[in-house]
Chains A and B, each alone.
Chain A
């Protein structure tokens, strides 16, 4: 059996070396170029741009709403929020 396997393994020496495909270098260079200069898909650019605009708009709205609340005065704001009265009337007659 040892002889058999040796004989079989000798068959492997008959495998001939083949030439690499001629277009391989071009493909390799294309891959290298793609890796070093990644291209962001257009849809991603639009999506991120839109998300950024929405964030800015929301922040602006919150900021402006906050400013209006501050102008009322803090006591009035508190009273209004808690649904209380700012007069001395204890009973509604």
Chain B
């Protein structure tokens, strides 16, 4: 049984980290709130299983948040696909295909909003590992060693993923710009 005061203390220390990481993955405030809540429920239920010898609490919480965000993205993709398929069977239906998620990231400044929106959407389309490396390195500003620890891979693997992610982003942006 998790101690309430211990949980409250963890919540207040990590609430912004969890919410912001979810936001960087989901690009939508409401979805990020849902995921952040799920993360803390998981923390509450599994805190007794946390072993400080294997990883720091921050690393553990990062991992739960990343996994929960990626699961949410997978479920959202499935929902969208299902909506599209069902719409094929009801072509006369006036019901619009629900836009599953709208972009709403409150952390973007007005002047660079458009460029950042395009970049974040491109990052979101990357494979999971590449996406995570970019988010942790460039948005969360974590050192390579910390990224490696969170993702439970070697530093070399982080470097390799980062390079591939950059190439992928460059290719996708070039396609969008129509060069």
Contact = CB atoms under 8 A, between A and B. Distances in A.
Interface string B154-179: 00000000000010011001100000
A18 B107 contact: yes
A11 B107 contact: no
Nearest to B2: A32
Contacts, number: 80
A77 to B, nearest CB: 59
Interface string A5-43: 110110111111111110011011001100100000000
B124 interface: no
Interface string B21-44: 001100000000100110011001
B64 to A, nearest CB: 13
Interface in B130-172: 134, 138-139, 141, 166, 169-170
16 contacts: A1-B174, A8-B119, A8-B173, A9-B166, A11-B115, A11-B119, A15-B107, A15-B139, A17-B16, A17-B107, A19-B16, A20-B18, A20-B19, A28-B44, A31-B37, A35-B45
Interface of A: 1, 4-6, 8-9, 11-21, 24-25, 27-28, 31-32, 35
